[in-house]
Amino acid sequence: MNHSVKCVGLETISSLRILRQSVVSVEGIELGLEQKKEGYRLAILAPPGSPFFEGFEGELLNQGSQSLLVGPANPRNASVLRFRLPWLRPRLLGLRTSAGLGDRLGLATPGHVRAVRATGGTVAPIFPQQSIREMSRTGRTPQQVMDDATWGVLAEGWQEGFGADADHLKTTVDIDACMRSGFTFFTIDPGEYVDNRAETASLSELRAALNGLPWEKLEDDPRALSARYLSQSVDAEGYRIRFDEHRLLRAAVKYGRAVAHVATMYWHLTGLAGGRNCELEISIDETETPTSHAEHVYIASELKRLGVRWVSLAPRYVGRFEKGVDYIGDLAAFESDFSVHAAIARQLGPYKLSLHSGSDKFSIYPIAMRLTGGLVHLKTAGTSYLEALRTIAAHDSELFRSIYVFARERYETDRASYHVSACLDRAPLPEAVSNAELPVLLNHFDAREILHVTFGSVLTSRLPDGGWRFYDLFMDVLHSHPDTYAANLEAHFLRHLKPFVSVAKAQF
């Protein structure tokens, strides 16, 4: 079918406030979205009795010689739209330079689309992206994440394709829920299976721990493991990675259970997918110590031996990747370390290196792009929530101030599952900041991290009478000022995406 944007028909109906960029013509039938204060409404204009109306929910009205269906932006209508319009369905991104643009609120996709479009669409985007941890904290489901992105993509008329990342999955139950909702990109997080004690263990301690690995799941044994690694080295574009007994046992003890878990999750995923294509990312970034080059070789080699296929991997790099702030560490040391990881990824793959907690790491984007030659995936999430707060600070200063006060109260509890170093006593006191200065808090290191990691508490906090403390007011501001939020997101994500554009263009 020919899907082309037209600006006639629906837009002439004075009772509707149709978003021009959302209007699509499908074989003479027009559909688009109406922007309401509380969100979107779907509008379809077709001949009376058209089979295109089948499956949609809404009110059917006479509109001259045409019939007009006006319906809610609900799960049923989103599902039917994805069936009717193939470009609303997520697709595989392969080895293209890509960026995951997470959305904790369900309203950020229009701004994300505008940023991607402004860079020429050369960086392959992922619009539906949220971790299971974030879903539990915001009270959202995988289906809601998918549907919210669907409406955002349609609202902006984006027809150039996108992926959908079921992020930081830890169990097969997580995979099941996200597969049902149509995700195409599955990020496996085996962090709880990583044994960080191996980093400082003695050789005798490592030998003892080696016997406790799940050898049956690894389809291996200690003798075969030693024979594979101690007799040879790996040459990755001039970088030679050698294993002695201590280095090998440290890698195996530290990551052996994680490798087994990833393999188990992968075979569950592929079995569940049947003939449907999907992509795998492996996330080992949320660990206490960096992933050494030898450990990277061990992980990739063992997963390949077990038949696992993946498109991207997120090691734990040197330095600190804290939430919502730039890279913390020696840039020269990062470049030296990252160059070897990039060579290993090309030699043992090729696969992309993934930058998790990648938002706002502006100082390393040019380095990552140059050293990978475009084999890189950027993953962001909470920075879009911070741009929502920027929008609120501009339009409802007292609400923003109340959120900041509450976030300070929740910070010490909520920071437990994040790698952050903000201190309350370094963050400005609420009463010391004027209304005009409130947006500046989002540029202050400590205040920014405090606001970042407390999102779940802010969005789900209840009053004594059971009502929402912030959520309704929070969302009302964003619904009332969608263009402000989208503009803030576009400007912010242009800074993220521009460093990745030059090499990405060469992939076309």
Q: Which of 363, 357, 191 is nearest to 289 (CA)?
A: 191
Distance CA 221, CA 452 (A): 44
Question: 7 falls in which pLDDT band (50, 70, 90)?
Answer: very low
Active site residues: 167, 281
Q: Is the pTM of this model over 0.85?
A: yes
**In angstroms, how far is CA 402 from the centroid of its own chain?**
28
Residue 300 has pLDDT above 70, yes or no: yes
Mean pLDDT of 357-378: 97
Give the pLDDT confidence score for residue 56 in this predicted structure: 98
Mean pLDDT of 382-400: 97
How are beta strands 29-36 and 24-26 bridged, if at all? Answer: antiparallel
Question: 14 falls in which pLDDT band (50, 70, 90)?
Answer: confident
Give the pLDDT confidence score for residue 503 in this predicted structure: 62
What are the residue ranges spanned by the domains of the chain? 3-72, 396-482
Is the omega angle on the peptide bond into residue 366 within 30 degrees of 0, that is, cis? no
Q: Are 213 and 178 in contact (CB under 8 A)?
A: no
Q: Which residues of 197-211 are buried (b: 16+ CB within 10 A; e: fewer)?
A: ebeebeeeebeebbe
Average pLDDT score over the chain? 95
pLDDT-above-90 percentage for the chain: 92
Residue 40: strand pairing partners: 35
Q: Are 433 and 443 in contact (CB under 8 A)?
A: no
Give me the phi and psi of 353, to 5 degrees please. Answer: -90, 135
List helix spans (H) across 415-460. 445-453, 455-460
Give the pLDDT confidence score for residue 1 in this predicted structure: 44
Question: 247 falls in which pLDDT band (50, 70, 90)?
Answer: very high
Give the pLDDT confidence score for residue 275 in this predicted structure: 82
Give me the phi and psi of 260, to 5 degrees please. Answer: -60, -40
Distance CA 153, CA 88 (A): 7
pLDDT per residue over 23-64, tens digit each? 999 988 999 999 998 899 999 999 999 999 999 999 999 998
Question: 195 falls in which pLDDT band (50, 70, 90)?
Answer: very high
Give the pLDDT confidence score for residue 37 in this predicted structure: 86
Give the pLDDT confidence score for residue 508 in this predicted structure: 44
Distance CA 417, CA 325 (A): 17
Residue 8 has pLDDT above 50, yes or no: no
Question: 276 falls in which pLDDT band (50, 70, 90)?
Answer: confident
Identify the burial level of 137 via C-beta atoms within 10 angstroms of its C-beta, where 0-12 means exposed, 13-18 middle and 19 or more buried.
buried
Question: Helix (H, G, I), strand (E, B), or coil: what is residue 119?
Answer: coil
Question: 6 falls in which pLDDT band (50, 70, 90)?
Answer: very low
Question: 285 falls in which pLDDT band (50, 70, 90)?
Answer: very high
Residue 505 has pLDDT above 60, yes or no: no
Rg for the chain, CA atoms, rounded: 24
Query: E strands along 272-427, which residues?
Result: 279-283, 312-314, 352-355, 376-380
Question: 456 falls in which pLDDT band (50, 70, 90)?
Answer: very high
Q: What are the structure tokens assigned to 456, written together?
A: 């779940």
Helices (H) and strands (E) in the chain, counts: 19, 16
Q: What are the structure tokens assigned to 385, written together?
A: 């929530």
Q: Are 188 and 283 in contact (CB under 8 A)?
A: yes
Residue 244 has pLDDT above 90, yes or no: yes
Q: Where is 256: in which H helix or E strand? A: helix 245-273
Residue 227 has pLDDT above 50, yes or no: yes
pLDDT per residue over 144-172, tens digit each? 999 999 999 999 999 999 999 999 999 99
Greater confidence, 419 or 210?
210
Which CA distances in Å does 212 have to 205, 225, 227, 306, 399?
A: 11, 14, 19, 19, 53
Q: Are 298 and 229 in contact (CB under 8 A)?
A: yes
Residue 5 has pLDDT above 90, yes or no: no
Amino acid identity, residue 412?
E
Give the pLDDT confidence score for residue 88 in this predicted structure: 98
Give the pLDDT confidence score for residue 504 in this predicted structure: 55
pLDDT per residue over 113-151, tens digit each? 999 999 999 999 999 999 999 999 899 999 999 999 999
Which CA distances in Å does 42 have to 18, 142, 176, 255?
A: 9, 22, 29, 49
Question: Helix (H, G, I), strand (E, B), or coil: what is residue 192?
Answer: helix
Give the pLDDT confidence score for residue 417 in this predicted structure: 83
